[in-house]
């Protein structure tokens, strides 16, 4: 073994040190170059990054477009709502964060355990994202939290916009509601966006139902943003200079407004009258149209819900209650539910009979109270019968036997032809989602659907609006609007004008014609006269619900919900279990000579069209006529006209008594009853 001396060792490693010096020098050069790059070349860029570390971007929510009625009465608005949020990254940066939670609990009356539980539930998301602790803070809570903001690191008050239906559940199905977008919404909505439009992102709200959904891209606004300076704990600081003062805030852009065709006073009246129904529940639908152009004047569906609850996210408890309600408050009964039209359908059978020359206005039938076909007896609603009736009186008294016989002559296919011609059994085309088609059966339909031949007895039931016949209240209103205007079907529409946020019209949807039924004007005139008798003639089924001084043409209807057992046919409707009681219907238009409103009412389980549905329609008609035709239908105008009519009647009576050759008895001119009388038993 040989050992090197000190000098030899120095000479041995001196050569190796040279490489170390070179490496150190190279590292120093690289460091200097990097510093030069960061400070000189990219200094401005990284200074901006540094500034942005203390700059917080805050969203400015955009208000959705407002919704008004036809007279610019505000229906749906945007109201500010304040939410309490905690950003975990900023909260936990403070060593005394538990003290912060305790302070917050004391200020807001939220238990500490509940706050901690909410924070724990958000652990799966990034710590820089805020967690919502409480929604809709009161003004007092907001003031307290803001006043102690410096003592609450990580705690923020976030202002959101709360979509508010000013009339709570009134017309909820029509207005619809909004909710937060989900992944499926993002794909669908962004695909439908116009070029250059701001795309949707998670956290945005969108219309989920009703007008809010159908007119989403019109009502939707564009969110803005502003920049604030915060400290390391996320607390807002006063800005004096720097990037936050250089970045310009982007203001939000409100959505466009909708002016609807509906009249809110009419809506309120319809809802009030529907809620006056006797019984355990107030269930049904009221819809009114303008026969001249298809405008929807009113649309009420009960039971309902408050759309405001949905704008910020509805609770699981409330959602389950709505879903499990057996009367389906989430369904719009004006167009999503279909019903047997009952005797209101007799006008279609009558039109088919006149047009097919199976009857004329003078064709009479003897009604003994029942009609026998094969081995089955079909009863009339009046067990003792109506005696001899022609078409006009058969409609007025709603004689089933007359229409049993007429239906047998026509057959189901010819009845269906005119029903479809008049808009039944098909969608009306209204720009609202989930409209049902209803059902108008034919022989071919039954064979295709059930693989069975049509039975003659089924035609009899269909001729009076029972059996397979199904219509929506909207279709029924459109049918009577068409009868009133001479056979023209309009596409119902609900939006009258689209306006800018400052009220300037930018779009006015036009009335669209569906078709004009090729029906002889004389046929329509005969039906119209018969419908006037339903209300104006003492034999009419709606006579005791007439309005003094207001002429109305209408038809009552009662439709069975369940088939009655043979031993219970005579059972009184009101004594039956609620859900088995008959539905009440009434459809009408007014004034008969030149209709400006057509109304259809379905009052579920209200037993009789005369007592359960016609009073609702009458009040809706009266409200509309008095508002828009006061010169003819104000209380004063009606009183004057009735007074003049009574004077003319007195002169007529006096003249008759003085004319011996007339041989007319005084009783022929007796005034009709002034006070409503009880409805006849079993009236339609």
- As given in the structure block, the two tokens for residue 55 are 């700059």
Residues 6+ apart with CB under 8 A from 183: none
Mean pLDDT of the 655-662 span: 41
Do the domains at 56-166+227-254 and 342-423+437-471 have one common CATH topology? no
Note the pLDDT of residue 664.
33
What's the CATH number for 342-423+437-471?
3.40.710.10
Measured between alpha carbons, how far is 424 from 352 in angstroms, rounded to an integer?
A: 14
Measured between alpha carbons, how far is 202 from 32 in angstroms, rounded to an integer?
A: 45
**Higher-scoring residue by pLDDT: 146, 57:** 146
Measured between alpha carbons, how far is 535 from 545 in angstroms, rounded to an integer?
A: 7
Residues 6+ apart with CB under 8 A from 299: 171, 173, 174, 262, 267, 285, 286, 287, 288, 332, 334, 494
* pLDDT over 60 (residue 569): no
Note the pLDDT of residue 661.
38
* pLDDT over 60 (residue 53): no
* pLDDT over 60 (residue 671): no
Interval 441-456: pLDDT, tens:
999 999 999 999 999 9
Cα→Cα distances 259→69, 171, 178, 493, Å:
6, 15, 18, 12
Residues 6+ apart with CB under 8 A from 57: 225, 226, 227
Confidence of residue 52 (pLDDT cuts 50, 70, 90): very low
Q: Name the most confidently modeled range: 103-107, 201-205, 457-461.
A: 457-461
* pLDDT over 70 (residue 191): yes
Buried b (16+ CB within 10 A) or exposed e, 581-620: bbbbbbbbbbbbeebbbbbbbbbbbbbbbbbbbbbbbbbb
Interval 104-122: pLDDT, tens:
888 888 898 888 888 888 7
Q: Record the pTM.
A: 0.80
Interval 273-295: pLDDT, tens:
998 876 556 899 999 999 999 99
Mean pLDDT of the chain: 84
* pLDDT over 90 (residue 490): yes
Strands 67-68 and 257-260: parallel
Mean pLDDT of the 432-437 span: 89
E strands, 296-436, in order: 296-302, 365-367, 370-373, 376-379, 387-389
**Higher-scoring residue by pLDDT: 24, 472:** 472
Buried b (16+ CB within 10 A) or exposed e, 134-144: beebeeebbee
Interval 591-629: pLDDT, tens:
999 999 999 999 998 888 899 999 999 999 999 999 999
- As given in the structure block, the two tokens for residue 218 are 């019109």
Q: Do 608 and 638 meet the contact criterion of CB atoms below 8 Å apart?
A: no
Q: Under CATH, domain 56-166+227-254 is a member of which superfamily?
A: Penicillin-binding protein 2a (Domain 2) (3.90.1310.10)
> Which residue ranges make up each domain of the chain?
6-41, 56-166+227-254, 342-423+437-471
Q: Do 229 and 244 meet the contact criterion of CB atoms below 8 Å apart?
A: yes
Note the pLDDT of residue 41.
77
Interval 237-249: pLDDT, tens:
555 555 545 567 7
Measured between alpha carbons, how far is 306 from 163 in angstroms, rounded to an integer?
A: 11
Interval 336-380: pLDDT, tens:
999 999 999 999 999 999 999 999 999 999 999 999 998 999 999
* Least confident range of 195-199, 405-409, 658-662: 658-662
* pLDDT over 90 (residue 533): yes
């Amino acid at each position: 073994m040989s050992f090197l001396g000190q000098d030899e060792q120095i000479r041995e490693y001196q050569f190796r040190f040279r490489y170390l010096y070179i490496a150190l020098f190279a590292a120093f050069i690289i460091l200097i170059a990097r510093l030069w790059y960061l400070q000189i070349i990219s200094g401005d860029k990284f200074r901006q990054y540094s500034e942005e570390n203390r700059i917080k971007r805050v969203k400015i929510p955009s208000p959705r477009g407002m919704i008004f009625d036809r007279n610019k009465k505000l229906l749906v608005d945007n109201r500010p709502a304040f939410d309490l949020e905690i950003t975990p990254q900023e909260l936990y940066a403070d060593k005394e964060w538990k003290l912060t939670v305790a302070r917050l609990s004391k200020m807001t009356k939220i238990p500490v355990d509940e706050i901690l539980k909410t924070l724990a539930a958000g652990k799966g998301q990034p710590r820089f994202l805020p967690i919502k602790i409480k929604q809709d803070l009161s003004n007092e809570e907001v003031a307290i939290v803001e006043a102690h903001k410096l003592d609450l690191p990580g705690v923020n008050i976030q202002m959101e916009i709360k979509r508010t239906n000013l009339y709570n559940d009134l017309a909820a199905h029509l207005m619809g509601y909004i909710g937060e977008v989900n992944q499926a919404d993002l794909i669908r909505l962004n695909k439908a966006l116009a070029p250059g439009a701001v795309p949707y992102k998670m956290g945005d709200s969108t219309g989920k139902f009703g007008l809010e959904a159908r007119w989403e891209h019109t009502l939707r606004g564009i969110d803005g943003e502003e920049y604030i300076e915060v400290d390391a704990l996320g607390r807002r600081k006063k800005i004096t200079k720097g990037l936050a003062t250089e970045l310009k805030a982007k203001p939000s852009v409100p959505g466009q407004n909708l002016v609807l065709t509906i009249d809110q006073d009419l809506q309120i009246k319809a809802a009030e009258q529907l809620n006056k129904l006797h019984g355990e529940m107030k269930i049904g639908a009221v819809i009114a149209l303008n026969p001249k152009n298809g405008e929807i004047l009113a649309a009420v569906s009960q039971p309902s819900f408050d759309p405001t609850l949905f704008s910020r996210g509805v609770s699981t408890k409330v959602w389950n209650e709505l879903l499990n309600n057996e009367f389906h408050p989430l369904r719009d009964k004006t167009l999503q539910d279909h019903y047997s039209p009952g005797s209101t359908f007799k006008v279609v059978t009558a039109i088919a009979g006149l047009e097919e020359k199976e009857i004329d206005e003078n064709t009479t039938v003897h009604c003994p109270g029942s009609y026998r076909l094969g081995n089955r007896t079909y009863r009339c609603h009046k067990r003792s019968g109506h005696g001899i009736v022609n078409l006009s009186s058969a409609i007025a008294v709603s004689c089933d036997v007359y229409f049993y016989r007429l239906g047998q002559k026509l057959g189901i296919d010819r009845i269906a032809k005119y029903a479809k011609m008049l808009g039944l059994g098909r969608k009306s085309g209204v720009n609202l989602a989930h409209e049902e088609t209803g059902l108008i059966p034919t022989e071919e339909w039954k064979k295709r659907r059930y693989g069975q031949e049509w039975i003659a007895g089924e035609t009899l039931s269909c001729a009076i609006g029972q059996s397979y016949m199904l219509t929506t209240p909207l279709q029924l209103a459109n049918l009577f609007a068409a009868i009133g205007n001479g056979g023209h079907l309009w596409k119902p529409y609900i939006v009258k004008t689209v306006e800018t946020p400052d009220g300037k019209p930018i779009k006015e949807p036009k009335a669209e014609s569906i078709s004009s039924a090729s029906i002889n004007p004389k046929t329509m005139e005969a039906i119209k006269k018969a419908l006037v008798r339903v209300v104006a003639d003492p034999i009419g089924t709606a006579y005791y619900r007439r309005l003094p001084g207001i002429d109305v043409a209408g038809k009552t209807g009662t439709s069975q919900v369940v088939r009655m057992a043979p031993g219970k046919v005579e059972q009184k409707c009101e004594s039956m279990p609620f859900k088995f009681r008959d539905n009440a219907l009434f459809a009408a238009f007014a004034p008969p000579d030149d209709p400006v409103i057509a109304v259809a009412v379905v009052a579920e389980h209200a037993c009789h069209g005369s007592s359960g549905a016609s009073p609702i329609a009458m009040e809706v008609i009266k409200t509309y006529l008095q508002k828009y035709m006061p010169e003819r239908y104000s209380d004063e105008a009606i009183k004057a006209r009735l007074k003049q009519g009574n004077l003319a009647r007195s002169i007529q009576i006096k003249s008759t008594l003085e004319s011996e050759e007339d041989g007319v008895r005084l009783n022929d001119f007796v005034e009709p009853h002034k006070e409503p009388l009880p409805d006849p038993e079993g009236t339609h």
